[in-house]
Amino acid sequence: MGKENKVQKETSKKNMENKKIRVLLMEDDRIARIFYRDLFSKADDLEIMQETKCGEEALEYLKKNDPDLIMLDLGVQNGGLNGLHVGSKLKEIKQDIPIIVVTQYDCYYPHCESWANAYMIKEDIPEFLLPACRELMRTQKGYISKNILEPISNLTGHPFARKLSKAELRVANATTQGLSAGGVASRLGISINTVYNHLSTIYFKLQLPDNYRNQHELVRIMLSKMPDPVEKTSYAK
């Protein structure tokens, strides 16, 4: 019996090692789907389980099937739901299945942060998509494209950083790059009123006097106390 159990365990382990990671793809562009098919065909451990062209189709498929990973394009416009709206609904159906967002825009990351396990700009896909899928399944660490991660990380060593939320850090960082409130709103994909609300909170948390509560003073304070550059990783901790 002991020998049989040992054989069964070894067989089960081998089957798990040989099992491919099955990916549900949500992409409405035919050329993009062809590209993904070709990319995944080069991997022995990954496969596209199903292709869906719209949010409703992806939701219906997920109700009856269990992929290992979901990859969705935020730009999908077929049907009544785009990629940004369907992501949270996918999580509601199968909350344990990780989601990788692929998009050509970096400004939507704050809107996906609550449900997306990884966020990848399309220019990163040829080099990083397959490794990111493996890393996410192996360690649960999600990939975040560097041009999104670095602005978040730039101020994390700042003396005031611990007082600010992630959203406030993004606004503060964009402000230090010389952007107006409107420019910050456009960069981060939020309303200008939201930017002003965050700035007001930042001024309060940094205890700036009323006559110093402006973006120019915030830039001066932040840049005068910026930490030395640190090595960054593209994988979220």
What is the percent of the chain with per-residue pLDDT over 90, rounded to a whole number? Answer: 30
Q: What is the pTM of this model?
A: 0.61
Q: Is residue 234 part of a domain?
A: no
> Average pLDDT in the 190-199 region?
87
Contacts of 60-67 spanning 24+ positions with Cβ under 8 A: 61/24, 62/24, 62/90, 62/93, 62/94, 62/97, 63/93, 65/24, 66/94, 66/97, 67/22, 67/23, 67/24, 67/97
Residues 128 and 198 grouped into a single domain? no
Confidence category of residue 66, pLDDT binned at 50, 70, 90: very high
Residue ending a domain, among 84, 112, 145, is: 145
Look up residue 133 and give its amino acid.
Answer: C
What pLDDT was estimated at residue 179? 74
In the chain, the number of structural domains is: 2
Q: Is residue 232 part of a domain?
A: no
Residues 81 and 185 grouped into a single domain? no
Give the structural domain span for 179.
155-224
Could you read off the pLDDT of 105-127 as tens digits, one per residue? 777 777 787 889 898 988 889 99
What pLDDT was estimated at residue 154? 56
Could you tell me if 115 and 91 are in contact, meaning their C-beta atoms sit under 8 angstroms apart? yes
